Amino acid sequence: MINMLDFQHILAAVNGYKPLSEQKSKEVREFYLNQLPSWCNIAGDNTPLFTMNKTMFALGYDRIVIGDYGAFIEYSYKHVIKDVYKVQEGQEYRFEAAKYKDNIKYYWYTINDFSGIKIYYQQKTVTYADYIPKKFYVSPYEVQQLIK
């Protein structure tokens, strides 16, 4: 089975996050859609999200966004469980340095449970996906839903 995070990383490294051709974009987006975990609901869900270390970090999500460089769970600030978030170590410059603060595409967060999960807090629109500024994004391959 293919590791989807590796696939997305390689595709981004090869293409530098430039928009893919219409045909390639259609192919990879269909591939991402077909590889989504079975619990994912494209239209969103009110079931909490957990890291692989079982830390709850979101009370639900708005939708799944599929772009050229992956499928991502989109959620709003109202879903955030604030006390478990932290800035990814080494990424503080995104908030502090004036030359980056006003020009970056996203702020990089993680959860304080050593899971290494990458959470984007979108600041600007991009050409390769329908990301909305002021929304959070996380890969469905880094999270789980624990249903009792």
Assigned token pair, 82: 């604030």
Give the per-residue pLDDT at 79: 97
State the virtual CA torsion across 12, 16, 19, 25 in degrees, nearest 10.
Answer: -30
Give the per-residue pLDDT at 138: 98
Q: How large is the average pLDDT for residues 53-70?
A: 96
- What's the length of the chain? 148
Q: How large is the average pLDDT for residues 57-79?
A: 97
Per-residue pLDDT for 1 more than 90?
no
Q: How large is the average pLDDT for residues 124-130?
A: 89
Q: How large is the average pLDDT for residues 72-91?
A: 96
For the chain, percent of residues with pLDDT exceeding 90: 84
Q: How many domains does the structure of the chain reveal?
A: 1
Q: What is the mean pLDDT of the chain?
A: 93
Read off the pTM. Answer: 0.91
For 43, list phi and psi in degrees, rounded to 5.
Answer: -85, 5
pLDDT per residue as tens digits for the range 6-25 = 999 999 999 999 999 999 99
In a 3-state reduction of DSSP, which class is residue 108? strand
Give the per-residue pLDDT at 76: 98
Domain of residue 92, residue span = 4-144
CA distance 95 to 19: 27
Instruction: Give me the long-range contacts of 3-12 (CB less than 8 A, separation at least 24).
Output: 4/32, 4/35, 4/70, 4/71, 4/139, 4/141, 5/139, 5/141, 5/142, 8/69, 8/70, 8/139, 11/68, 11/69, 12/69
96 residue type, one letter: E
CA distance 134 to 125: 10
